[in-house]
Structure 1
Amino acid sequence: MTRHNTMNQEPCPVARSVDVIGDRWSLLIVRDAFDGVRRFGDFQRGLGMARNILSDRLRKLVDAEVLATQAASDGSAYQEYVLTAKGESLFAVVLALRQWGEGHLFEAGEGHSLLIDKRTGQPVPLMSPRDVDGVELAPEATEVRKLA
């Protein structure tokens, strides 16, 4: 299968983003990193993925500066994977996917995990895009201006 080099050539921000974090495993690694997972073995146990695939995705996320490696916080010989500022800025993406899934992929009354605001103890409110005046934006109120 041919690998597209959209990172350097594609003028679409969505295409470039998908190139970095658009596969299932990469998104789930980022999700788990937000949940505090830091070690290779913990990612592997939690996700149930093959070591070679996990190694590949972690390497790609580090190369893309979404994750960084650092010495283990407990002083052991292990290394940990931590979100960079670039990685932390994916929070809204993960939250949007979570909220879309909650609204469209579960039956009424079906249990699922909840993302809670630690300050209030309440579920995080639904996200919605807003214009400069704070008015909710519908898809038909936007347009993509493509390069000429």
Structure 2
Amino acid sequence: MPLRTSWSEDKCPIARAADVLGDPWSLLVLREVFMGNNRFDGLKKELRVADNVLSERLRRLVAAGVLTAEPYSTGKRPRNEYLLTAAGTDALPVLHVFTVWAQRHTQSTGETLMRIICTTCGTESASGAWCQTCGAELTAATTAWDHPKSSEILIELANAGARLESRH
């Protein structure tokens, strides 16, 4: 018996999107992959998630075409790194909208907010899809995050998207 209802063939596009991206672990996996953390052990460490839960979410995201699993080790235990597909990079505005909404409507235990930076003009954006200053679309190639979990000043999302672009 499935743990939840499948909405993969629902007439409503919101239901179909929720079927793929509506799970909190899936959104957090995507956040990590955008930040360049794309191997199982790194994801497990950062997310503090059980092996079976992470394996299932990665399997679902690969099956849905959001990530690809590319082997990087073929030893005794083959290992994959998980790379964004075009569908995966298209989910970036969803993560941005979640960020903007959460910073407006939820409490944070810390004072540091996540900033979405348009790398085209260098300004902070409060939008999920477009820079309000220069009008550039906020894609992996034109966005950086000032993320409270990172020790880096800015996380260039183009680094996560570069692998996708170099494979086409």
- The TM-score with structure 1 as length reference comes to 0.74
Tell whether the 8 Å contact from 2:94 to 2:128 is kept in structure 1 after alignment: no
Matches within 5 A, 1:1-148: 2=2, 3-8=4-9, 10-72=10-72, 76-77=73-74, 78-106=79-107, 110-127=111-128
Aligned-residue RMSD, C-alpha: 2.2
Question: 1:37, CA displacement in angstroms?
Answer: 1.1
Q: Tell me: CA distance 1:12–1:106, structure 2 relative to 1, closer, same or farther (3 Å).
A: same
Give 1:26's aligned amino acid.
S
Question: What is the number of residues matched between the two proteins?
Answer: 124
Paired with 1:91 and 1:26, the residues of 2 have a C-alpha distance of 13
Gaps of 5+ in 2: 131-168
Question: 1:128, CA displacement in angstroms?
Answer: 7.6
* Between 93-102 and 114-123, the greater mean CA deviation after superposition: 114-123
Structure 1 runs of 4+ with >6 Å offset: none
Question: 1:118, CA displacement in angstroms?
Answer: 3.0
Tell whether the 8 Å contact from 2:99 to 2:114 is kept in structure 1 after alignment: no
Gaps of 5+ in 1: 130-148
C-alpha distance after superposition, 1:68-115 (max 9, x if no partner): 01133xxx44320001001110011111101111122247x9322322
Identity score, percent? 37
- The TM-score with structure 2 as length reference comes to 0.66
